[in-house]
Amino acid sequence: MAQTFDAASPPAPQGIHPWVAQWQKRIGFGVSIFPHPPDWQGFIRLVQRMEAMGIDSYWSYDHPAANADCWTALAALAVSTERIRLGTMVDCIYYRSPYLLARQAADVDRASGGRLVLGLGIGRLEEEFAVMGLRYPPTPERQRALEETFAILRGLWSGEPFTFQGESFAASTPGPWGPFLPPVQEPCVPFLLAGGGEKTTLRQVARFADATNMGAHPAIGQAVTDADVTRKFGVLREWCQEYGRPYEGVLRTHFTMPLILAPTRAALETKLARMPQDTLAWAADALFAGTPEEAIAFYRALAALGFQYFITNPLGGDEETVELLAEAVVPAFS
């Protein structure tokens, strides 16, 4: 007989995921390029270089109009790299059915030998929903749908007969082809939730996820000042206590959107002048532009506030930033 779940059924994660545990006493770095480079072979070679240079992870955006689908990109990387972690930053739960998401995530985890980190979000661009012909539900409904997605993913991956009927989503297994083939990662695929909302998002992080992610822009959590970061981490700690799980079981990650590096201040000024000024203006406080030495100081200050892992967002075509990050910044934290 199939088990029936609701969004409250999955227990909060206990213990510390191995990927999270490895960053308890050292700092990690990942890269997320936006938009996806249109040259697929060049993109794959670039991520292979990141892997060789010691970057821990690559994160694919879920904006289907921005050159590539995130799961297509991660599938290509899964079979063309060997060690680098592969994540979504972040998968919008409305762009694919939860069943299809479970299938794609499990496939990428299997193809990569257990290297997936599944970042999830509720979507924030109403115009993107419209282009895709999708209804844009109110925020509370989208937040409830996220909890349903967790229930479905865990149920489908459990290896047991499963059925779910929620407000937004439904799914069941086994289907006509037998049991659902789950991910291979042990003990499970780690989940990441992005945002800094103190009433709902950080509660959901503590309830469901292995990592939190925030940055200075309103779109990524509005953790602008030191006081903002300290307060949000304090709220996260309280929610972890509420759900009976260790605070250190949640990896505290930061998103730099975008990161722009140049070897000297003069070179940086020239580089910034050539970049899209509307993008730089939109990024505002979330932008960091500097030399490698300045970036080291920037990330050390954030680490002192409690961040453990930095996901950086070079703009498409800015391979210099990737190279300087790997060659000059990351080694300072090793």
3-state secondary structure 204-220: HHHHHCCEEEECCCHHH
Question: How confident is the model over 148-188, as pLDDT tens digits?
Answer: 999 999 999 998 889 999 999 999 988 777 788 999 999 99
Indicate if the pLDDT at residue 29 is higher than 90: yes
Residue 63, burial from CB neighbour count under 10 angstroms (0-12, 13-18, 19+): middle
Before 189, cis peptide (omega within 30)?
Answer: no
Q: Name the residue among 144, 186, 190 with its Cα closest to residue 167.
A: 144
Indicate if the pLDDT at residue 58 is higher than 70: yes
Q: What's the average model confidence in pLDDT over 309-323?
A: 97
Confidence of residue 66 (pLDDT cuts 50, 70, 90): confident
Q: Name the residue among 279, 285, 266 with its Cα closest to residue 314.
A: 279
Output the six-digit token pair for 222.
Answer: 């509005």
Per-residue pLDDT at 5: 52
Confidence of residue 13 (pLDDT cuts 50, 70, 90): confident
Confidence of residue 83 (pLDDT cuts 50, 70, 90): very high
Residue numbers of the domain that contains 293: 3-333
| Cα three-residue angle 87-153-127, rounded to 5 degrees | 65
Q: What's the average model confidence in pLDDT over 272-279?
A: 95
Confidence of residue 1 (pLDDT cuts 50, 70, 90): very low
Confidence of residue 6 (pLDDT cuts 50, 70, 90): low
* DSSP-derived 3-state class of residue 261: strand
**CA–CA distance, 66 with 241 (Å, rounded to integer):** 39
Q: What's the average model confidence in pLDDT over 13-20?
A: 93
Q: What percent of the chain lies above the pLDDT cut of 90? A: 91
Return the H-helix or E-strand segment holding 77. Answer: helix 70-78
Output the six-digit token pair for 161.
Answer: 């007969």
- Residue 228: give its domain's CATH number: 3.20.20.30
Number of domains composing the chain: 1
* DSSP-derived 3-state class of residue 119: strand
Residues 6+ positions from 62 with CB-CB distance below 8 Å: 70, 88, 89, 90, 91, 92, 95, 121
Place of tokens 């227990």: 11
Question: How confident is the model over 216-261, as pLDDT tens digits?
Answer: 999 999 999 999 999 999 999 999 999 999 999 999 999 999 999 9
Per-residue pLDDT at 334: 87
- Give the CA diameter of the chain: 68
Model pTM score = 0.95
Per-residue pLDDT at 174: 80
